[in-house]
Amino acid sequence: MPQRPVLDFWYDFASPYSYLAAMRIEPLAEAAGVEIRWRPFLLGPIFAGQGWASSPFNLFPSKGRYMWRDVTREAARLALPLKRPDPFPQNSLTAARLALALREKGLASAFTRAVFAAEFGEGRSISDITVISDILRELGVDVASTVSSAQAAAVKSRLRAETEEARTRGIFGAPTFLCADGEMFWGNDRLEQALAWATGERPAGLL
Amino acid sequence: MPQRPVLDFWYDFASPYSYLAAMRIEPLAEAAGVEIRWRPFLLGPIFAGQGWASSPFNLFPSKGRYMWRDVTREAARLALPLKRPDPFPQNSLTAARLALALREKGLASAFTRAVFAAEFGEGRSISDITVISDILRELGVDVASTVSSAQAAAVKSRLRAETEEARTRGIFGAPTFLCADGEMFWGNDRLEQALAWATGERPAGLL
| DSSP code per residue over B142-165 | -HHHHHHHHTSHHHHHHHHHHHHH
Q: Report, as an integer, the average pLDDT of A55-67.
A: 93
Answer whether B10's CB lies under 8 Å from B176's CB: yes
Count how many residues are written for chain A. Answer: 207
Spatial CA neighbour of A43 closest among A35, A33, A34, A53: A53
- Residue A52: which pLDDT band, with cuts at 50, 70 and 90? confident
Q: How far apart are CA B115 and CA B127, in angstroms?
A: 10
Which residue of chain B comes nearest to A57, CA vs CA?
B172
User: What is the three-class DSSP state of B35?
Assistant: strand
Indicate whether A188 belongs to any domain: yes
pLDDT at site B1? 55
Q: How, if at all, do strands B184-186 and B176-179 pair?
A: antiparallel
Per DSSP, A83 falls in state: -
- Residue A53 pLDDT > 90: no
Residue B61, pLDDT score: 92
Give the mean pLDDT of A31-35. 98
Rounded to 5, what percent of chain A is helix, strand, coil? 55, 10, 35
Determine the residue of chain B that is closest to A56 in CA distance: B50
Contact present, B96 and B12 (Cβ < 8 Å):
yes
Confidence label for A186 from pLDDT (cuts 50, 70 and 90): very high
Counting the structural domains of chain A, the total is 1
**Which residues span the domain enclosing A107?**
6-198
Would you call A170 and B205 a contact, using CB atoms and an 8 Å cutoff? no
CA distance B72 to B151: 34
Region B138-151: what's the mean pLDDT? 97
Q: What is the average per-residue pLDDT within A104-114?
A: 97
Angle of CA points B71, A18, B66, to nearest 5°: 20
pLDDT value for A51 = 86
CB pairs < 8 Å spanning A and B: 63
Stretch A178-191: mean pLDDT: 98
Q: Tell me the catalytic residues of B.
A: 15
**Res. B54 pLDDT band, cuts 50 70 90:** confident
Judged against a pLDDT cut of 80, whether residue B16 lies above it is answered with yes
Considering the domain boundaries, does residue B40 fall inside one?
Answer: yes
Q: Give the torsion sign (CA, A122, A126, A131, A132).
A: positive
pLDDT for B34 beyond 80: yes
Q: Are A162 and A171 in contact (CB under 8 A)?
A: no
Can you tell me the distance from the alpha carbon of B176 to that of B194, in angstroms, rounded to the nearest whole number? 9
Strand partners, B179: B7
Of B66, B183, B203, the CB nearest to A170: B66
Query: What gap in Å lies between CA B146 and CA B148, rounded to an integer?
Result: 5
pLDDT (0 to 100) of residue B52: 87
Burial class (CB in 10 A: 0-12, 13-18, 19+), A39: buried
Structure confidence at residue B204 (pLDDT): 85
Q: Which tens digit of pLDDT belongs to each residue from B64-95?
A: 999 999 999 999 999 999 999 999 999 999 99
- Burial-class residue A119 by CB neighbours within 10 Å (0-12, 13-18, 19+): buried
Tell me the ipTM for this assembly: 0.95
pLDDT tens-place string over residues A132-166: 999 999 999 999 999 999 999 999 999 999 999 99
d(C-alpha B95, C-alpha B4), whole Å: 28
Q: What is the DSSP letter of B188?
A: G
Mean pLDDT of chain A: 96
A186:B79 CB<8 A = no
Bridge-based pairing of strands A35-40 and A6-11 is parallel
The chain B residues in contact with chain A (CB within 8 A) are 50, 60, 62-63, 65-66, 69-70, 72-73, 76-77, 79, 170-173, 183-186, 189-190, 193, 203-207
Using one digit for the tens of pLDDT, what is the confidence trace for A63-91? 999 999 999 999 999 999 999 999 999 99
Is A184 within 8 Å of B69 when comparing Cβ atoms? yes
Nearest CA distance, B135 vs chain A (angstrom): 27
The per-residue pLDDT for range B92-107, each reduced to its tens digit, is: 999 999 999 999 999 9
* Strand ranges of the sheet holding A176-179, from the earlier edge strand across to the other edge: A35-40, A6-11, A176-179, A184-186
Q: What is the mean pLDDT of residues B127-152?
A: 97
A89 found inside a domain: yes
A50, pLDDT greater than 60: yes
**For A2-23, what is the mean pLDDT?**
96
Using alpha carbons, list the distances in angstroms from residue A49 to A46, A115, A171: 5, 27, 12
In this prediction, residue B82 carries a pLDDT of 98
Taking CA atoms, B2 is separated from A124, B5, B34, B195, in Å, by 47, 9, 12, 17
Q: Determine whether the interchain pair A50/B70 forms a contact, defined as Cβ–Cβ distance below 8 Å.
A: no
B60 closest CB neighbour out of A50, A72, A207: A50
Amino acid at A185: F
Q: Is B205 part of any domain?
A: no
Exposed/middle/buried for residue B50 (C-beta within 10 Å: 0-12, 13-18, 19+):
middle
Which residues of A are less than 8 Å from B203 in CB distance?
A: 73, 76-77
pLDDT at residue B162 in the model: 98
Q: How many CA atoms lie within 13 A of B135 on its CB side?
A: 30
Query: Would you state the pLDDT for residue A1?
Result: 56
**pLDDT at position A54:** 87
With respect to residue B102, please indicate whether it lies within any of the assigned structural domains: yes
> Which region, left, alpha or beta, applies to residue B104 given φ > 0 means left and ψ of -120 to 50 means alpha?
alpha
Phi, psi for residue A176 in degrees, rounded to 5: -125, 135
Per-residue model confidence as pLDDT tens digits over B180-193: 999 999 999 999 99
| Domain membership flag for residue A207 | no
Q: Is B207 within the bounds of a domain?
A: no
CB-nearest partner of A66 from B62, B69, B172? B172
Integer CA distances (angstroms), A195 to A32, A33, A35, A71, in order: 7, 9, 10, 22
Cα distances (angstroms) measured from residue B126 to each of A63, A147, B57, B89, B99 = 28, 58, 19, 10, 12
Is residue B65 domain-resident?
yes
Q: Say whether B204 and A79 touch across the interface (CB within 8 A).
A: yes
Q: Which of B40, B170, B47 is nearest to B93 (CA)?
A: B40
Those residues with Cβ within 8 angstroms of residue A16's Cβ, 6 or more apart along the chain or in another chain = A67, A68, A71, A120
A133 catalytic? Reply is no
- Domain CATH number, residue A150: 3.40.30.10
* Nearest CB to B63 within list A63, A172, A193: A172
User: Taking a C-beta distance cutoff of 8 angstroms, is the pair A112, A22 a contact?
Assistant: yes
Instruction: State whether A73 and B184 contact (CB < 8 Å).
Output: no
